[in-house]
Amino acid sequence: MSIYQVKSRWVSAGVALGIAFYGHISNAQSSNQIMSQQQSVHTIQQGSTVYDIFSPQMQTGKAVLDYQLWDAALQSVVLRLGDSIRRRARRPSAIVGTRFVSGHKSAYRLEGSRVTFSYMDAEFKRELSAYRADLVRIANQIDLTHLAKKEQLAFWYNLHNVLVIENIALNYPIKKPAKLLLGANKQLFHDAKLVTIKGVPLSLRNIRENIVYKNWDSPKVIYGFFYGNIGGPALQNYAITSKNVDTVLSMHGREFVNSLRGFHAERNSLNVSVLYEEARPYFFKNWPIDLKKHLEKYATPDVTEELQQDKPIVIDGFDDIVADLLGGSMPITSYVSRSTNDIIAPIGVPPEIARLMNELHDKAVVMRRRGMVNRGGTVIIEDIYTDDDEDEYDENAEGSLAAPKPEE
C-alpha cells in the first residue's frame, strides 16, 4: 500500500497539521453570505452541471484520508459550549462606571461552539492557509468521486470548515462573517470563489449546495457545516472522518434542533433557523410538513410538544455574529483586574471573556441541576466520539450517507 503524506507545521499552535492519504494515487491533474437575514429562499443555482464532476461514482478506491493533525489544531482553538438549556441569555451588564457593553450580547451566546480567533497570531494564520492548500492539492491529485461516499463527505466538511476558519482569521476582527467581501471581485463570504478543484472554482455555498446537498439524500448533512457565526451548527473540536461522520451529524442535529437558534415557539409562530430555508429546495420540498418530520426525529419530548402546536412555521432572525470569544472585536479594556458588577476578570484575561466564562459556569450549574451533565463536570461540555461508538442518535436516520442519492 502506498502512502502519500503532506505536512505543514502549525508552529504558533505547537502542533503539526497534515493529511495522510492511504491507497493508490491517481495521476495529478493541474489546477491553478450564509444568507443574510433578508435573503429569500435560495433556489438551486442555474448551470449547476459544472459541479457534476464532483458527483460520487461507484467506489473503486479504498483510500482513507487521515486528519489527525487537523484534529490537533481544532482541539487547540475550538470550545464546545454544550447542549442548549433553552433559556435566552440576558443582556450583560455594562462595565462599572459606563454604559458600554463589550463582548457578546446575543441571546444565543451560550449555545454552539466558539473559536479563539483573537488568540491566533500571524504564524498560526499562515500555517492555516498552508493546510488549506494541502487539502486542495490532494483533491486535485486524486479522484475523490471513486472513494467511499462517507470519505468524500468528510473531505467536503473539513475543506469547508477550514475555509471558514481561515478567512475569518485572516480578516479578524470582524463582527459578521457573512458580510465579508473576498476575492478580486469582492464577493460576499459564502459566494466568493475561494478554491479551485479539478478546474472548477468553488465557494462555500457551492460546496454545501452543489456538491453535498445535491448528492446526499439525508437532511442531516446540513449539520456538518460550520458557518463561523453563532446562529449556525456547532463545530466539534476534532475532525470529521468517514468513521465518525454519522455520529457527528446526529449529535449536531440533536444539539441544533433542540437549541433556541435551531427552533423555538413564539406566541403566534414556530420559528426555525434560516439554514432550513437554504436547504429547503433539496430536502424539504413539501414545506413545512417535511421540515417538521425532520425536526421531530431529533427533538426532545419538550421540544416535540412545542413543534406540535398549531402555529405557522416562520423563518427566524439569524444570529450572524461571529462565533468567537469577544463578539467580533479585539478587547478594548486593558488586561488588568476589572470588575463588571460581580464579575472579576483575572489579570491577563479580558473582562469580556471572563464574563462569558462566568455565564458558562452558571449554565453548567443549571445543566447539572437538570441532570444534563455529571456533577463535578467542567463548564465546557464536550460530545466525545470513540471509534467503537454506535451511532446512538441515529436510530431513525433519514436516508443513508453511504448510498447514492436517487434520481428525481
pLDDT in tens, 40-97: 334 444 444 799 999 999 999 888 998 988 998 999 999 999 898 888 877 766 555 5
Ramachandran category for residue 67: left, alpha or beta (phi over 0 → left; psi -120 to 50 → alpha): alpha
CB 265 within 8 A of CB 295: no
Q: Which residue has the higher pLDDT, 114 or 318?
A: 114
Phi first, then psi, for residue 371 (nearest 5°) are 80, 20
Cβ distance 278 to 336 under 8 Å?
A: no
Burial state string for 379-393 with b = 16 or more CB within 10 A and e = fewer than 16: bbbbbeeeeeeeeeb
Mean pLDDT of 100-108: 73
The listed range with the strongest mean pLDDT (42-56, 303-317, 385-399) is 303-317
**What pLDDT does 78 receive?**
96
DSSP per-residue codes, 304-362: HHHHTSS--EEEPPP--SBSSSSSSS---S-SS-EEETTEEEPTTS-HHHHHHHHHHHH
Q: What is the pTM of this model?
A: 0.81
* Alpha-helical segments (H) within 84-215: 122-141, 149-171, 204-205, 214-215
Give the pLDDT band (50/70/90) at residue 102. low
Q: How many CA atoms lie within 13 A of 224 on its CB side?
A: 34
Q: What is the pLDDT of residue 381?
A: 38
**Termini Cα distance of the chain:** 39
What separation in angstroms does the CA of 229 have from each of 84, 177, 224, 234, 274?
16, 7, 14, 9, 13
How many angstroms separate the CA atoms of 321 and 318, rounded?
A: 9
Q: Tell me if residue 263 falls in helix, strand or coil.
A: strand
140 or 319: which leads in pLDDT = 140
